[in-house]
Amino acid sequence: MEGEVSAGGPPQFLIHDEGDSVAVAVQDIEPGSAGGAVLRSGRRCEYEVAQRVPLGHKFAVTELSAGADVIKYGVRVAVATKDIAVGDYVHVDNVRSARWQNSVA
């Protein structure tokens, strides 16, 4: 669940833009509550992360239905291939690169 959090402690994840649908882990994140920030606004936020998210990997901060655009940096970077819940790990098993969406590889 998302909510505002206090400014204490370094962020565990960053969201680049307010409209992004994913956050990027700036450290390994274990399942449970994780605190982070939105880069452009500095707003602090908290999410319940469902699976382990390694450093540099992503998790969903919005519900994504199969076929929905995955937004990062304010731009479409991927398409969900399955329904993805808030807090779910976002990786090759549930998204496809927008650039290669129509590839047969």
Q: What is the pLDDT of residues 63-95, one digit of tens each?
A: 999 999 999 999 999 999 999 999 999 999 999
Is pLDDT at 5 greater than 90 in this prediction?
no
Tokens 């590889």 belong to residue: 105
Would you state the CATH architecture of domain 13-97?
Roll (2.30)
Confidence of residue 96 (pLDDT cuts 50, 70, 90): very high
d(CA 34, CA 99): 30
Confirm whether pTM is higher than 0.85: yes
Candidates 32, 70, 25; CA nearest to 51 is 32
Is pLDDT at 4 greater than 70 in this prediction?
no
**Domain assignments of the chain as residue spans, ordered by start:** 13-97
CA-based angle 18:3:24, to the nearest 5? 50
Tokens 């290669």 belong to residue: 100
